[in-house]
Structure 1
Amino acid sequence: MKYSRRDNFKPEEWPKYEHILRKYLGYNYRSDCEGRKLENEKMALTQIRRFLIFAGEGQLLKGGFSFLKKHENIRIWVNELKNQGFKPTTIKINLINLKSFFSFLSNFPAKITQLNPNDFNWLKLATGQQVKDLKKELTSHRQNVRKLSSKNLVSKDDMAAFRREARKIIPKKLELRKTRSRICLQQIFGLMAGYFVVGTGHRTGVMTNLTVGEVTGAEHGDSSVVIEVALQKSAGTFGFAQLSLTNEYNSWFTTLLEIRHGLEGAESNFFFFSASGGRCLKILQYFQSEWSRMGFGGRFNFRHFRTTMVHHTKNLSIDEEEDSQSNVPLRGSGREILCSA
């Protein structure tokens, strides 16, 4: 992109504005985050930096932010992003990140920012106005995305068939204790994650963020077990994501915990773990391999299954006979099949 800059300067080489950007990063985010959230942090910083370089051309390196007095640059920047083909959703995220940065910057002394409170008020108004002006484009964009998604729905028959076959195969694969095979472990990961995602509509993060402690600390009832996953995308709105299991399905989890000892990466805190001991970021790839191995067509990600379930009905029954045994209502989400993930 025209306004990008390399991001690997040594701290002693940073210009003044870069020091403030790094302070913003430290202020706004936890230092211990990783994965997708860490990527989002870096992207937010990059978006803010690009705007500053664009709006402050010829002035930014002087050390202050007086060029922000020309708040009309925000509108010009939005038009620039549109011309470069950015989606309305991405432009809105840019504006939200800018508004957050302006709020942070307003706490610095005026001798550093070269801006007064009235300047920050104008920046806030200008940014908010651009967000409002995007509403129509956002609505049209989302409608187009929904139309496109509806063309990539997964066959309900294939979804039901996959779960039936996976239910037969997983117990056999769990005889991994006899082979100690990493490849077999990957197949188990793909089958187990796929089985529950296809049946519940959970996001990928619910599987990859599931921890050993959450499995061992599951709540046991008379005929069911509920595993709660704390770290997931909509936790701030819906709380923990839940996997509601029969005793049969819970035995898959407990057996896998028993046989993982001694395998490479088994010291990981994550239930689905990588060979390096982190979360298993290839779990979608493992599922897709098993989906194809069973002879099902198409190359779907977990979002396709979620979209399919939303499209058809909130109470999609994949297999009535199977569901009568396995589907325990999810708590805390207000939904029985599409849970809070």
Structure 2
Amino acid sequence: MFIVIFLTKNYFKQYQAFHEGSCPSAKHRENAFSKVSRIRSFLAFMAGKDSSLATWRFLDKAEQIIQWPNVLAASGKNITTANFYLRNVLQFMIYFKETPPKLARLSQSQITGVIRAVRQAIKSISKKMLAHQLTTKDKKLSKVVSQESLRRCQVGARKAIPKLLKELREDYTVQLRNAFYGYFSAFIASIYGHHPGVFKNMTVAEVRGAATEGRPPTGYVIRVKEHKTAKDFGPAQMFLEPEEYDWLLKWLQVRERCNPPGDWVFFTPGKGPLKNLVRYMQEAWAEMGLPGKPTFIDLRTAVSAHAKNVHVPEVRSKVAKFMCHNTATTTTADRYYALHMDVEQSRAMRRHFEEASTLPHLDSPSSPPKPKKVCPRKATAQEESDSTSLSDEAVPYQEAGDSCLEEQRWELVSEEEGQEEEEGRGGGRHCAASSIYTSQDPEEGDVQINKVHNNKVHRCLQAQHGGM
């Protein structure tokens, strides 16, 4: 492993600088260093006892790459951690393909094969990833902070913060300062569900800049540029009412007396941002007599879950964007909320299924009407050309029961037989309805029936040809 690190030292310096960017923050540097560390562990696994390290040919082992998630799992790594490792390796290999090291002897097709194997490894753990994430979401929702607790937190913090500020102005202590941090962050997080980084990275300039937009008694909007999801959502926003904004102004007056080194609103004795904010928030939560010991992530999950259950999708989308929470098609929130429902939601969903199988369909009739038999007519020349253009194959003749003319013939025969039985065999009679002369002679009767049938056929053909 040390040989691999030595051979790739300069190359990794370039790669790390590439990920840090032009104006890296401390968090960006930390993330870039973590990515490089994961890639180095992958290279050590692939190299093993291979002697061709400088040529990078040890990477051309697709089967070994696909087995790497199992090795990580055996070493105690979580499935989500293995996913992070693989995705960092995939980013590195794409960079490797575009800017290979000077000593590399891998062809482009070999590098493509390595990339394909890494993607296959990511795909192979996708099912376990989903199961793990759903289990994690289930645990989160099982201990989700209730709406009542969020509301009590807002009421309790609103009462405690003015008292803390008054005590801080009279006698500043670190304990009072940390208590103010905890109460204020709990108050804002219970409303907006912001990440702790929003509070840690809030600057004095951002707080004072909000005053130019505020119009008392409307309120003020503070926009924090530096936070976890800034690259996707831009500045994190929080709207404060005049009284709430006045809390920060009073705190800035206390802060000026301490002469902190940085520009952060919530400062520490050191040069870096605040790191123990979650502990201060939990202490304030307990002092307000609220149940549990939630983190900022728990409050964020609660705000998002309650917004899902209360608001319509359009409003919930706006709420999610304001709290910098992604709810797009690739989002975590909607994906897992759609797959996970609590008991009441599942019960309501069952009612929907039962309604679908029991309620009558009012739009459809109880029994479909019988189709009417229509006497076929001869197709026109244009219709024949249209049908020919649709299909060049001849359609075979299909027997579909008696034709229209045959039905008319047998109706006439039945009608004549009924008349003979009714009138008896006495002499011929003239039928006014059909203008047919019938005779008692059987042979002559058959001739008359055939004559009527021929007249009917003639009239039907005339109707088909437009009265010709």
Give TM-score scaled by structure 2 length.
0.63
Aligned amino acid, residue 95 of structure 2: F
Q: Does the 8 A contact of 2:237 with 2:322 survive in 1?
A: no
For CA contacts below 8 A with separation 6 or more, give which structure has more relative contact order: 1
Q: Does the 8 A contact of 2:47 with 2:53 survive in 1?
A: no
In structure 2, the residue matched to 1:296 is: 290
Q: 1:228-268: per-residue Cα shift (whole Å, max 9, x none)? A: 1111222222222111011111101111111111326x232
Structure 1 residues not aligned, in runs of 5+: 318-330
In structure 1, the residue matched to 2:254 is: 259
Partner of 1:210, secondary structure, is: coil
Match of 1:282 among 276, 284, 306: 276
Q: 1:256-303: per-residue Cα shift (whole Å, max 9, x none)? A: 111111326x23211111111321111111111111222323221111
Residue 34 of structure 1: how far off its partner (Å): 4.5
Structure 2 residues not aligned, in runs of 5+: 326-468
Q: 1:30-74: per-residue Cα shift (whole Å, max 9, x none)? A: 375445443322221111011101100123784231101223221
Aligned amino acid, residue 54 of structure 1: F
Give TM-score scaled by structure 1 length.
0.84
Q: Does the 8 A contact of 1:199 with 1:337 survive in 2?
A: no
Q: 1:183-222: per-residue Cα shift (whole Å, max 9, x none)? A: 2111111111110001111111111111111111113135
In structure 2, C-alpha distance between the alignment counterparts of 1:128 and 1:90, rounded to whole Å: 16
Q: Percent identity?
A: 27
Q: Does the 8 A contact of 1:201 with 1:338 survive in 2?
A: no
Q: Does the 8 A contact of 1:314 with 1:338 survive in 2?
A: no
Residue 111 of structure 1: how far off its partner (Å): 4.8
Residue 108 of structure 1: how far off its partner (Å): 4.3
In structure 2, C-alpha distance between the alignment counterparts of 1:35 and 1:109, rounded to whole Å: 28
Deviates more, 1:186-195 or 1:232-241: 232-241
Q: Does the 8 A contact of 2:20 with 2:28 survive in 1?
A: no
In structure 1, the residue matched to 2:84 is: 93
Alpha-carbon distance change, 203 to 109 in structure 1, aligned in 2, over 3 angstroms: closer
* Segments of 4+ moved more than 6 angstroms: none
Residue 336 of structure 1: how far off its partner (Å): 7.3
Aligned amino acid, residue 209 of structure 2: G
Matched, 1:70 2:61: yes
Query: Higher Cα Rg: structure 1 or 2?
Result: 2
Partner of 1:227, secondary structure, is: strand
In structure 2, the residue matched to 1:214 is: 206
In structure 1, the residue matched to 2:324 is: 340
Aligned amino acid, residue 252 of structure 2: L
The alignment yields a C-alpha RMSD, in angstroms, of 2.7
In structure 1, the residue matched to 2:115 is: 124
In structure 1, C-alpha distance between the alignment counterparts of 2:169 and 2:72, rounded to whole Å: 54
Deviates more, 1:141-150 or 1:153-162: 153-162
In structure 2, the residue matched to 1:245 is: 240
In structure 2, the residue matched to 1:198 is: 190
Q: Does the 8 A contact of 1:110 with 1:116 survive in 2?
A: no
In structure 1, the residue matched to 2:29 is: 38
Aligned amino acid, residue 301 of structure 2: T
Matched, 1:231 2:226: yes
